[in-house]
Amino acid sequence: MRQAVTWKSRRPKLSKPVVAVMIPTYNEKENVGRLILEIEQLKLPQLQLVVVDDDSPDGTGELLDVLAKTRAHVHVIHRRQERGRGTAGLAGFKYALAQGADYIVEMDADFSHHPRYLPELIKAAAEADVVVGSRFVRDGKDLDRGWLRHWVTVLANFYIRKILKIASVRDCTSGYRLFRREVLEAVNMDNTVSLGPSIVQELLYKAHLLGFRMREIPIVFVDRRKGESTFSWNIMLQSLLMTLILKFLFSRLRRVEIHDPGTRVGK
């Protein structure tokens, strides 16, 4: 992991926002290299990639090190002891904030979240604090997942929106999202309770309670093409139970500090 000069200090004044794309990986050797290449082909200005690998046994970490050697914009965080999608994402977010990112995008490595939506996520952030890549708005789709997983996702979203009262977002379980740095600073990442995928709803819920502006853009979500699925009914049930715990623990959370629109970048 290189940490010499921060991205912000390298940036010319009054330029576009620095965007960090954070990708958690576990056994994604067949996907992550191609994903990085496809993101690079978009030639997005000021883009940094932060990949958080949990010592994947398939050699994802070693592949990332090879790629990072010739790419100053690729940053690899190797977690040797800790495990889990939730804490991996938080480690990546904290790294991106420390380096001075203005916008932080999270996406999966398995091409379910196609990189072609990145420009639109970034564009939408001019008018929002959180931008969600959504399967459940007009032109969004949940493709070839099989009817069971599709309906599980639809019902999980219905349940989460009802319990947490998040009316402005239809796809509360989407892990393809952009946060302005103010959001991640405000949600207090040292105070999270999710270790696994429910981190997705936890951050969304806290951002909602804190009054940040949310927007959705349509995405077509496709099932993972390569590599093994980490989905399990156990994880699904834990996430649904976590919805109730989040409600119990955090529903009284309110913004204490007024967000100053004058300080926003990229307007």
CB of 230 to Mg ion, least distance (A): 7
Of 31 and 99, which has the nearer Cβ to Mg ion?
A: 31
Map tokens 């090190």 to a residue.
Answer: 65
Given a contact cutoff of 8 angstroms between Cβ atoms, the answer to whether 257 and 179 are in contact is no
Of 110 and 142, which has the nearer Cβ to Mg ion?
A: 110
Given a contact cutoff of 8 angstroms between Cβ atoms, the answer to whether 134 and 140 are in contact is yes
Residue of the chain from 20, 29, 54, 121 that contacts ligand GTP (CB under 6 A)? 54
Residue of the chain from 52, 169, 178, 204 that contacts ligand GTP (CB under 6 A)? 52
Of 151 and 231, which has the nearer Cβ to ligand GTP?
A: 231
| CA 35 from centroid of its chain's CA atoms | 15
Interaction of residue 242 with ligand GTP, rule CB under 6 A = no
CB of 75 to ligand GTP, least distance (A): 14
CB of 108 to ligand GTP, least distance (A): 4
Residue 86 binds which entry of Mg ion, ligand GTP, none, with Cβ cut-offs from 5 to 8 Å by kind? none
Given a contact cutoff of 8 angstroms between Cβ atoms, the answer to whether 227 and 183 are in contact is no
CB of 77 to ligand GTP, least distance (A): 9
Angle at which helices 147-164 and 199-209 cross, to 10°: 30
Of 168 and 230, which has the nearer Cβ to ligand GTP?
A: 230
Interaction of residue 176 with ligand GTP, rule CB under 6 A = no
Interface with Mg ion (CB under 5 A): 108, 110, 112, 224
Interaction of residue 28 with ligand GTP, rule CB under 6 A = yes
141: left (phi over 0), alpha (psi -120 to 50) or beta: beta
Of 183 and 204, which has the nearer Cβ to Mg ion?
A: 204
Interaction of residue 34 with ligand GTP, rule CB under 6 A = no
CB of 117 to ligand GTP, least distance (A): 16
Map tokens 């979203």 to a residue.
Answer: 157
Given a contact cutoff of 8 angstroms between Cβ atoms, the answer to whether 88 and 94 are in contact is no
The radius of gyration computed from the CA coordinates of the chain, to the nearest angstrom, equals 18
The pair of structure tokens assigned to 187 is: 């949600």
How does 220-259 read in b/e, with b if 16+ C-beta sit within 10 Å?
Answer: ebbebeebeeeeeeeebebbbebbeebeeebeebeeeeeb
Interaction of residue 232 with ligand GTP, rule CB under 6 A = no
The pair of structure tokens assigned to 43 is: 């030639």
Footprint (CB under 6 A) of ligand GTP, residues 59-118 = 83-85, 88, 108-110, 112
What residue ranges bind ligand GTP (CB under 6 A)? 24-26, 28, 52-54, 83-85, 88, 108-110, 112, 224, 229-231
